[in-house]
Amino acid sequence: MKTILVLGLLTIGLLFPANSIAQSLPSGKNIADNTYARNEGISLNRTLTMELKDKRGKTRIRKTTSLRKYFGDEKRLAIFYLTPKSVMGTAFLTYDYPDASVDDDQWLYMPALRKTRRISASNRGDYFLGTDLTYEDIKLETRISKDDYNYKTIGLETVDGKTCYVLDGTPKNNTIAKELGYSKVKLWVDTNIWMLRKAESWDVAGNHLKTTLISDIKKVQGIWTYHKIEVKNHKTNHETIFRISDVDYKTELNDDVFTKETLVNGL
C-alpha cells in the first residue's frame, strides 16, 4: 500500500506544479509522528564504534556498548565506553520522556573526574564526547523531533536509491535554536520505513554546518536497523563515522542497566 502511495505521489508530480505537489504530501508533523511510531523493539543491545577524523586526517577509534530499552513510551539509552583505555569507563545515560512539557534527563559519567554530570536542556546542543553529533542528536537517533521545529514538507527526492519526503525545519523560537545550535534543518525521511536517511543543518548564524548520512539500513530480527552514520562538520572539517554491529533485539535487558549507579559502576 505504501509503495502504491509513493508511486501515486510521483505520478502527481509529473502532472502538477511544485506547489500542488507540496500540498499533496503529508505534513511535517505527520512525518515526525511516524518516525516515532516505527517499531524499534523493546530492548536493544549493540556494539557502537565511533571513528573520529580531524581536518589533518588523524583518526581516533572509540568502541562502546550501546543499550536501549522502552519503559512504556519512555525511552532510555545507555552508552558505555570500552576502548581505548583513556576513555574506558566513560558512560552516558538518557531518559527520553514522552511528555514534551518535561525536560529529558541526561547524565554523563567521566571516570577521570569520578563525577557524574547532568546534561541540562540548555546543553543538549553540545557535541557528544568529541563526535560531530550533539547530545540531542544521539538521543533522537533516526527519529525527527516532534516538539522543537516547525516543519514544511517541500517535496520528494531519492537518497541511497530510496524515495524520501523532504522537510524544511526551523526551531519554534530563538531559545530552542540556541539550545540546539541550529537555525535550520533539511531532512530526508524514507517514505517506506519512516527512517531519517539524510540531514543538513545550519548554525544559529545561518552558516551551513553539517551533513549527516544514514546508510546500510536492513532488517535485523524483523526490525529496520541502521548500521552506519556519517557526519561531516563543514566548519571544522571534522568527521565522525558511527558503525553499528552485533545488533540484538531479542535479549531482554535488566532495568538496573539504566540507572545512575550502573553508569558509575559499569556493566
CATH number at residue 74: 2.50.20.10
Mean predicted lDDT score pLDDT of the chain: 92
Distances (CA, A) of 33 to 37, 143, 170, 245: 6, 9, 17, 27
Query: Which of 178, 65, 195, 204 has the alpha carbon at shortest distance from 140?
Result: 195
Does residue 21 sit within a domain?
no
Does residue 246 sit within a domain?
yes
- Residue 26: cis peptide before it, omega within 30 degrees of 0: no
pLDDT value of residue 117: 92
Segment 246-262 mean pLDDT? 96
DSSP per-residue string spanning 23-51: HHSPPHHHHHHHHHHS---SEEEEEEEEE
Cβ(35)–Cβ(143) under 8 Å?
Answer: yes
Residue positions counted in the chain: 267
Spatial CB neighbours of 28, under 8 Å, sequence gap ≥ 6: 149, 150, 151, 152, 153, 167, 169
Domain range spanning residue 203?
40-265
pLDDT value of residue 24: 87
Q: Is the pLDDT of residue 174 over 60?
A: yes
Residue type, 101: S
pLDDT value of residue 1: 46
Q: Is the pLDDT of residue 97 over 80?
A: yes
Does residue 1 sit within a domain?
no
Q: Which residue has the cell 525536560?
A: 103
Does residue 18 sit within a domain?
no
Does residue 190 sit within a domain?
yes
Q: Which residue has the cell 583505555?
A: 85
Segment 230-239 mean pLDDT? 98
Helices of type H across 73-220: 135-140, 174-180
What are φ and ψ of residue 238, in 5° steps?
A: -90, 145
Does residue 171 sit within a domain?
yes
Q: How many domains does the chain have?
A: 1
